[in-house]
Amino acid sequence: MKEKLTVIIDYNLGNLFSVKHACDHVGLNTVTSNDIDLIKKADALILPGVGAFGEAMNNIDQLNIRDAIIERTQAGIPLLGVCLGLQLLFDESEEFGHQKGLGLLAGKVKKLPGRSSDGKKFKVPQIAWNSIHATENLWEKSALNSVKDGEYFYFVHSYYVAPENDSEILCTTQYAGMKYCSGVMKNNIIAFQFHPEKSGEKGISIYRNWAEQNDLL
């Protein structure tokens, strides 16, 4: 049987090495690439990322891979988004004005508040270990099925996603006195605001679960 190929999308802005290392650790057959033909042939996609939303989308458009990412995802192949990769899946971001995203998920990307409603100051970006909490029904059917509710993962971000559809929220996190979406799942798409690959063995287990659930190993 032909070995399945997972393409880690390289749009010249991302945490590619750590993601590749996590994939190698669990036995995923991966290639890091922005080659449009490889993306079109991929059995699964990983969209990583660290940096600015607008720059990321500009790079994706300059590489002419926007349509390939959208088409393959809409065709039903598994897609895993990480950090900025989660945000890029949405309709738009308010970072530096309004920036259009891939539009695979309905909703917007908004800035974390620097103060809570009672006036307490919080650092933005959030660079910290923080806990994730389950939402109804989705957790056990997802790549988080081996993760305990309340486990801590590593976050580095200034913006968060606000999905239009609450049913797509996989997990939530508290920061700056607010609860926000830190993970989503819709059909073949799953994505996280935190970095599983930088969160120790429990994070690596998310890659392993995702690969096993999608028959990629």
The catalytic residues are 83, 195, 197
Task: Give yes or no for a cis peptide into 163 (omega within 30° of 0).
Answer: no
Measuring CA to CA, which residue among 152, 187, 158 is closest to residue 170? Answer: 187
Helix (H, G, I), strand (E, B) or coil at 79: strand
Measuring CA to CA, which residue among 53, 55, 31 is closest to residue 159? Answer: 53
Bridge-based pairing state of the strands 90-93 and 159-163 = unpaired
Torsion of CA 21, 148, 144, 86, to 10 degrees: -80
Q: Which amino acid is at 179?
A: K
DSSP-assigned beta bridge partners for residue 8: 32, 46
Contact 28, 213 (CB under 8 A): no
Q: CA 201, CA 132: separation in Å to the nearest integer?
A: 16
